[in-house]
Amino acid sequence: MGYLLKNEIDACVADSKIVIGEKALIAKNTIAPNTIIFMFQAAATDVRTRTSIQVSESKHVEPGDFGAFANHSCSPNTQIVAHYNADTNIAEIVMISITEISVGDEITFDYATTETTVTTNLLRKPCLCGSPNCRKFITGFQELSHTEQMSLIAKEITAEYLHI
Ligand SMILES: [Zn+2]
């Protein structure tokens, strides 16, 4: 339980460039695509928080003192792959890079690819990711337009429980 792998060679917790005054996961090296940033295993809960990651239709995991700092981007450079075992209530989360990440870049994932919705203190806060395709607000999958949902599904980085 806890971190099965924490890639502290390539990533660290440092000041966010997206959300000034907050911490983020930052690349310490150039990170190739398909590099594991962390693997985390824990008991799932029914509670969504500002830092939890959804792992099934109704279960969530707190991703520890490293993964909790992964901020949202509408053009993410990683994706979350989660496996939830309903028999044991244990979830395993893997964060893996999907693009090359440059030194100093913030390591992000798209919250709408894992979360049905987000906590009220995040929901519809302006998104500051700055990407050309920024959706302007932080939301979960259910708050996206149908077009945005279809676009995310087409990228094949969206959790299956959101769209089956
Ligand atoms: Zn954005």
The domain spans of the chain are 2-162
CA of 127 to the centre of ligand 1 (A): 5
CA of 29 to the centre of ligand 1 (A): 24
Query: What is the second-level CATH architecture of the domain 2-162?
Result: Beta Complex (2.170)
pLDDT at residue 70, rounded to an integer: 96
Cα 38 to Cα 8: distance, rounded to the nearest angstrom:
9
CA of 128 to the centre of ligand 1 (A): 6
CA of 126 to the centre of ligand 1 (A): 8
Mean pLDDT of the chain: 95
Residue with tokens 């959300």: 19
CA of 75 to the centre of ligand 1 (A): 7
pLDDT at residue 123, rounded to an integer: 87
CA of 60 to the centre of ligand 1 (A): 23
pLDDT of 160 > 80? The answer is: yes
pLDDT of 157 > 80? The answer is: yes
Q: What is the DSSP string of 123-151?
A: TTPBP----TT--SB---GGGS-HHHHHH
Using CA atoms, how far residue 154 sits from 63, 127, 134, 159, 163, in Å, is 26, 22, 17, 12, 11
CA of 74 to the centre of ligand 1 (A): 4
For residues 109-135, average pLDDT: 94
| Ion ligand 1 — residues with CB < 5 Å | 74, 127, 129, 134
The amino acid at 2? G
pLDDT at residue 25, rounded to an integer: 98
**Which is more confident, 20 or 44?**
44
Cα 64 to Cα 40: distance, rounded to the nearest angstrom:
8
Q: What is the pTM of this model?
A: 0.95
CA of 135 to the centre of ligand 1 (A): 5
Tokens at residue 81, please?
A: 């792959």
pLDDT at residue 115, rounded to an integer: 97
CA of 129 to the centre of ligand 1 (A): 4
Dihedrals φ, ψ of 111, to 5°?
-60, -30
